Structure 1
Amino acid sequence: MARLPTPDADAQTLLAQAREAEVQGRTSEAIRRLRKLVEARPQHAEAHYRLGRLLTRKNRWADALLPLRKAVGTAPRTGRYWLALADAYRMLGQDKPLAKLAETAAVAGLDADTVRALAQRAEAARTAGDPKPVVDELGEKFQGQDWVGLRQLAEKAVGDFPHLARPWYYLGLACLAQKQLDRAETAFVHALDTAPEGIEGLKVSLAIVYRNQGRIDEAMATLAEVLQSGRAQPPVVCDAATMLGNIHVAAGRLYEAAQAFRRAATANPHSAHHWRKLGQVLLAQGHGTDAVQALRLAAGRAPEVPGIWLELGNGLFEAGLLDQATDAYATAARLAPDDDAIRDRLELAAALTGRTI
């Protein structure tokens, strides 16, 4: 006769399934399985602990407190449960509960290393002080492009204020500027984990790291998340769409690039740069009429840039509007009288129209 599964066997199965889902990146599924397990086995300390840790990875620090407290209460001699709870308090800026936790640990019979680590966390929280002056100084170093100083200050700040996104963000920018891409990625991921809002802009920074590392698929997926979220502000949408368009251009996907640049230009309609990028791609596709429309908008926003007038002239030329092309080339030539390429195009258009330059 087959033996019926025991409650412990069922718990181990759910725990293994949750672990498999976690390893495969299905964090939400892993959380669901662990919730089911702790409902059935409320004294299962490891399940509470793993649930809390997964919730922190989803930036749900407040939600993680309850399962982590239960893990500590159920297995009070397991040091890593205490440390995970302490980290949650620290990330949430709850310094008083953290100090109380460290005091309790000293008389709870925990190993000396755990007691010492908890005391260090509590002391760091106590001495960190007001983060505003530090964040202001980080901003000043960023504006001055003092990348070495920015990194040094940011590294200290993330130790003092690990629950704040801004120091992690500045650390990521400093590392990115110094081409330390792995460190930049780690910093931006921490910033995402701690940011209460504005995560779309952080994701664009992370996408830059992925692109520079050659992880193009991950960069594109991250940018797509930003553009599909519906939460990104227009400047962030513009940055994400522009970067995505540049990736498509590099891969020769001009149709997709045009879609991305159109999205960028729509998000920032006063920018000549994005209308110009759209016009360039449309021109490369042979869509002269649409290219002319985009380049006219670019020229209207930056009439002092000769290159835009040259490209507008090329679009008009391709569309068969030779008189208008000649006018555009003439404007470009006035702005850049020593540019031989512009002069050659102007002379060709003038010859075809019979006009004198």
Structure 2
Amino acid sequence: MNQRNETLDFRLLNEFQRDFPLISAPYGLLAQQLEVDELEVLEALRRLHEEGAISRVGAVFSPRRIGASVLAALAVPAEQLDAIADEVSAHAEVNHNYEREHDWNLWFVATAPSQPHLDRLMEHIASESACPLIRLPLLEEFHIDLGFDLSSHARRRTAKVMTRPAELPESAWQLEADEQRLMAVLQNGLPLELHPYALLAERAALDEARVLQLLESWLARGLVKRFGVIVRHHELGWTANAMCVWDVSDAQVSAIGERLARQAGVTLCYRRARDLPTWRYNLYCMIHGRERTKVEARVAEINRDLGLHAYPHEVLFSLRRYKQRGARYVDLGGVACV
């Protein structure tokens, strides 16, 4: 690949992860900003998608604003891990599924249309796998998926650290029929065609103006956290990925979580419910790196700088990725994707 293409690829990956244009021909606007042809932009994005560097161009929906979700883990015998991971990944509600270094070795995220639906899924997975299961629902988000700076691997400093309380009701957002149809066709991403919103509108039985209006409303009201290029860190060289967990007193966890979210290198940060007596930890962050030793050094620095070494903590590195895709909320019929 020549230097021109490498530069174009990097800028597409790094500069358009959020605030994607909500206009009829968004790729044309990207082309103007990049000083290239519109078809060149589309060709590059299609290639990056085929190569796995991006999962899609589209929306990242906010946790707990629609449906219900949970981080869960199984303690799986090593000889059964691949088979049980495949069983877990086969569920449409499961969007992320990883092996991590720990006795609790299979970690997955599941999203469902309602809490009762999610509870039934968890019971089914526990029964199907015949393995111990812990459930760790989100309570507060301090920093979740606000973009990933590939040049310096530091969170974009223009992103505002937000805290969302545990009391946010499950029914905070009730989707209208046209919203359900749009969400269904958007879940796989924005079409890589000249007029993508018109194509979404056709598939959702809407007009283009309504599609753009709904997307603007979703962003303004927080249903969508960001809209843009969704990169895949592992394929881009960030293969040393660690989930760091601490047991912090409930009285202190919110203040510490906000400070942790602002640390360089922290790509995700949130508070989750404990699952006692089995799992004591309530504060989490993710650190993505190219080298394990550098990630370990960064964790040590954060523990020192924030005084977190005083709290029980563990670092769980990812070993294998069994499944990674965007959450599914509805199908093309506008009903639960199950």
| TM-score category, normalised to shorter length | under 0.3
Given the two structures, how large is their TM-score scaled by the length of structure 2?
0.23
The structure that has the greater radius of gyration is: 1
Structure with higher strand content: 2
Structure with higher helix content: 1
